[in-house]
Chains A and B, each alone.
Chain A
Amino acid sequence: DVQMTQSPSSLSASVGDRVTITCRASLGIRNYLAWYQQKPGKVPKLLIYAASSLQSGVPSRFSGSGSGTDFTLTISSLQPEDVATYYCQKYNSAPQTFGQGTKVELK
């Protein structure tokens, strides 16, 4: 099975900072990669699909890039409401594995 590895596992940044989270697949998955945001006690929310397509209603400060095995989620200017855990997920085939998550906190 393809493993999904996110880094870092947690990070602390200031409001306005540029934040980058990476996700690496153990085998190529083309662009079948999604990013989700989950706030404590809440349901995961889709941010990005097809590696770089912004889900409707998601602020434009979120962006995704990558293809094959290496992917990136970028928050261009961190806002207080972006404090959450972020997960990548491959969805080209089963198992549709999630990364282990990256917790983003405010400094």
Chain B
Amino acid sequence: QVQLVQSGAEVKKPGASVKVSCKASGYSFTDNSLTWVRQAPGQGLEWMGWINTYNGMTDYAQNLQGRVTLTTDTSTNTAYMELRSLVSDDTAVYFCAREAHSGYDYLPSWGQGTLVTVSS
């Protein structure tokens, strides 16, 4: 079955960077795009960006442009989300989610989430 397994919780200082991984299994990795979503404590879901795992095309939320980079390693079926210049407002649970198809689509499968805490 489809599984997305994310890396473990991280604690970072303001100004640092974090890189969260999302390892996919149970399907052909390049057949479906991946989306990253974050959720600050007690808040709603925020769409961060999208990557086409076949050709590497990306789209990013405007408020994160320049600080976030989505990449994939097709040799290990793993996607990565790197966020730089962290501030306390970046404290959140970060989710990867598989799109239903290769383009923009709904999200039937989600990773378990990775808590990133930004604190001095």
Contact = CB atoms under 8 A, between A and B. Distances in A.
Interface stretch (B14-22, B24-32, B81-89, B101-109): B101-109
Interface stretch (A20-28, A73-81, A93-101): A93-101
Contacts of A92: 104
A100 B104 contact: no
B35 interface: yes
Interface residues of B, number: 24
A46 B104 contact: no
A34 interface: yes
A95 B61 contact: yes
A87 interface: yes
A87 B95 CA distance: 15
Given A96-B35, A96-B47, A43 B106 contact: no
Contact of A43 (B59, B61, B110): B110
Contacts of A87: 44-45
A98 B107 CA distance: 12
A91 B106 contact: yes
A43 B112 contact: yes
Interface string B2-44: 0000000000000000000000000000000001010000001
A5 interface: no
A95 B47 contact: yes
Nearest to B59: A94
Interface in A57-99: 85, 87, 89, 91-99
Q: In the A-B complex, list the 5 residue pairs whose CB atoms are closest, starting with the nearest.
A: A94-B59, A34-B106, A49-B106, A101-B44, A98-B45
Interface of A: 1, 32, 34, 36, 38, 43-46, 49-50, 55, 85, 87, 89, 91-101
Interface of B: 35, 37, 44-47, 49-50, 59, 61-62, 95, 97, 99-100, 104-108, 110-113
